[in-house]
Amino acid sequence: MPETLLRPAYLSVPPRLGSYGAEAVDLMRLAGRELDPEQVLAVDAMLSYGPGGRWAAFETVTVKARQNGKTAGELLPVTLFDLFLLPPDKVMWTAHLFRTARDAFADFLGLIEGCDELGRRVRKISESHGEEFIELTSGARLEFHARSKGSGRGLCVKRIVMDEAGYLSAESMGALIPTLAARSVTGDPQINYGASAGVRASDHLRDLRDRGRAGADPSLVYVEHCCPGSWDNPGCELGAECPHTVGVGGCVLDDEALWPAANPALGRRISYAYVRNERRALPPEEFGRERYGWWDDPVDVTVVPLESWAECVDLSSAPRGRPVLAVDCSPGSRSAAIVAAIRRPDGLPHLEVVAHARDVAWVPRRCRELAAHSPLDWVLDPGGPAGALLPDLLAAGVEPRQLTTRDLGQACEAFAAAVGERSVRHLADPVLSRAIAGAGRRDIGDGLWAWSRRRSEVDIAPLVAATEALWGLSTLEDELGPAPAPKLLTSAVAGETHPLARAGF
């Protein structure tokens, strides 16, 4: 009974007249390897041809989670087909690491030496370190190289296989791609990429992904298996604010029904028990990339220009009136921050970090103390990590206004605009400056965006709280009457507040 085909999440093939895929699959069967249905589909797409039997695409890309057979079951069959069944020429197999290229070489040798019909067509095999190749009696030759800025220079080949394509550098691409040029008129060159989901530095692979996912690229075959969702829109109960740690309720990384989408070999060569162990052993970011196929995209450029933020500094800023206080914390309750927004006599808002410290156990007690300042309001995002503090805050007598997703998006846009227009003042607190310098953003729909903890390089809890406090203040009527006399409060919290803090907290 044939196995069920798990169709890729993305499949794009230019118009074609046919495919040599069946011949490649038969050749693998002759060599003793039966391909999975998903591998057959990918090989069929990669070996598509158009008029005159020429390749339908100059580039082919296959993206799957690790250990799902993209190298041994997709790149290898295409290469073996070219080596043994097409007019003889040179083929180059490359990998990011020499060890990976050597492993592929050993896999080819195992197939060839285990099949008499292939083995008797071999003229020479070189196993010398750094000079691995297979040469046939026809003159066809397959060489194996670890990529570098010099590998491939001086060679002339008709096919380049780029395994581990997530680690392609500009230098190696510059060395390898021109080796195909001499075959562009009389030959039929092609590049075959294989990779798992990209890391932040995977610029070339990301460009291929964007072209492939868009579809209709006339020179690209694209096959990608991945789970639904992304880091920005994971589908977790907590949304993009989910820390994705083991034990967090409603995290989609624990939804085993999704796993096969990115792992067609699950239940065949990869066991569910092993993936469960991986989930517990790996950091969420690694598990999401390696088993879900969720890409690590680059951090956006600084959302708030540092020069604009610097121009909003006023070390003599003296706010009056009652504050709006916002509370936020980092994923996993590693730290928390309370930030105040207060109107100044000139009407400009003043932002001040009231407290910033490790863990979150201190927050309810500190909020109870801050009630002595008669805050105009408290603000909190219930969809973020700070939502877990709501029961304790309510028990402490603090009932914060809870932002909706739309409120959060508008708050972030308003914060960026206020800094850009220099219509806010602060005390150059390094806690906020660090957060702004390292903060990333994420889209939340309808043209709105929010601060992204996953894409940020620092703890952005103070920045999120500042954004929410500023929004909360902007929605209330100004109350610029005489400020209440500062209270002398005793707190055990070892905060990281600025020594120039003015508001008497």
Same domain, 169 and 243: no
Per the listing, tokens 């939340």 go with 444
Q: Which of 11-25, 139-153, 322-336, 431-445 has the highest mean pLDDT?
A: 11-25
CATH number at residue 325: 3.30.420.240
Q: How far apart are CA 314 and CA 331, in angstroms?
A: 31
How many CB atoms neighbour CB 496 within 10 A?
Answer: 17
Q: Tell me the average pLDDT across 480-497.
A: 48
The last residue of a domain, from among 270, 292, 314: 292
In a domain, 123, yes or no: yes
In a domain, 300, yes or no: no
The last residue of a domain, from among 292, 316, 335: 292
Q: Tell me the average pLDDT across 155-179.
A: 81
Place 156 in a pLDDT band, splitting at 50, 70 and 90: confident
Tokens of 187: 């030959």
Same domain, 150 and 274: no
- Listed in sequence order, the DSSP H helices in 186-255 are 203-214
In a domain, 488, yes or no: no
Tell me the per-residue pLDDT of 68-125, one tens digit each, with 9 for 90 and over: 999 999 999 999 999 999 999 999 999 998 999 999 999 999 999 999 999 999 999 9
Per the listing, tokens 């990869």 go with 270
Same domain, 158 and 29: yes
Tell me the per-residue pLDDT of 258-285, one tens digit each, with 9 for 90 and over: 999 999 999 999 999 999 999 999 999 9
The last residue of a domain, from among 248, 263, 292: 292
Number of domains in the chain: 3
Same domain, 195 and 311: no
Per the listing, tokens 């492939």 go with 212
H/E stretch holding 94:
strand 90-95
Residue-level pLDDT at 169? 77
Percent of the chain's residues with pLDDT above 90: 74
- Give the HSE-up count for residue 314: Cα atoms under 13 Å, Cβ half-sphere: 18
Same domain, 218 and 318: no
In a domain, 378, yes or no: yes
The answer to whether residue 177 scores a pLDDT higher than 80 is no
Instruction: Say what angle helices 461-474 and 405-420 make with each other, to 10 degrees.
Output: 90
- For every residue of 384-406, DSSP letters joined together read SGGGGGHHHHHHTT--PEEPPHH
Q: What is the mean pLDDT of the chain?
A: 89
- Residue pair 178/199 in contact (Cβ under 8 Å)? The answer is no
- For every residue of 20-65, DSSP letters joined together read SHHHHHHHHHHTT-PPPHHHHHHHHHHTEE-GGG-BS-SEEEEE--
Place 155 in a pLDDT band, splitting at 50, 70 and 90: low
Residue-level pLDDT at 454? 81
The answer to whether residue 184 scores a pLDDT higher than 80 is no
The answer to whether residue 12 scores a pLDDT higher than 60 is yes
The answer to whether residue 179 scores a pLDDT higher than 80 is no
CB proximity list for 259: less than 8 A, separation 6 or greater: 227, 266, 272, 275, 291, 292
Same domain, 310 and 288: no
How much is the pTM? 0.75
Same domain, 211 and 119: yes
Same domain, 164 and 263: no
Per the structure, the complete domain to which residue 55 belongs is given by 10-224
In a domain, 265, yes or no: yes
The answer to whether residue 417 scores a pLDDT higher than 60 is yes
Same domain, 218 and 250: no
CATH number at residue 96: 3.40.50.300
The answer to whether residue 488 scores a pLDDT higher than 50 is no
- Residue pair 339/452 in contact (Cβ under 8 Å)? The answer is no
The answer to whether residue 10 scores a pLDDT higher than 90 is yes
Percent of the chain's residues with pLDDT above 70: 90
Residue-level pLDDT at 497? 56
Place 153 in a pLDDT band, splitting at 50, 70 and 90: low
- What angle (nearest 5°) sits at the alpha carbon of residue 387, between those of residues 383 and 392? 165
In a domain, 482, yes or no: no
Place 297 in a pLDDT band, splitting at 50, 70 and 90: confident
In a domain, 483, yes or no: no
Same domain, 95 and 217: yes
In a domain, 505, yes or no: no
User: CA nearest 102: which of 74, 73, 138, 126?
Assistant: 126
Same domain, 421 and 333: yes
- What angle (nearest 5°) sits at the alpha carbon of residue 465, between those of residues 462 and 467? 110
Place 150 in a pLDDT band, splitting at 50, 70 and 90: low
Q: How far apart are CA 406 and CA 102, in angstroms?
A: 53
Structure-derived torsion over alpha carbons of residues 230, 231, 232, 234, reported in degrees to the nearest 10: 60
Cα 358 off chain centre by? 27
Same domain, 74 and 217: yes
Tell me the per-residue pLDDT of 455-470, one tens digit each, with 9 for 90 and over: 887 899 999 999 999 9
SS3 state at 286: helix
Residue-level pLDDT at 212? 97
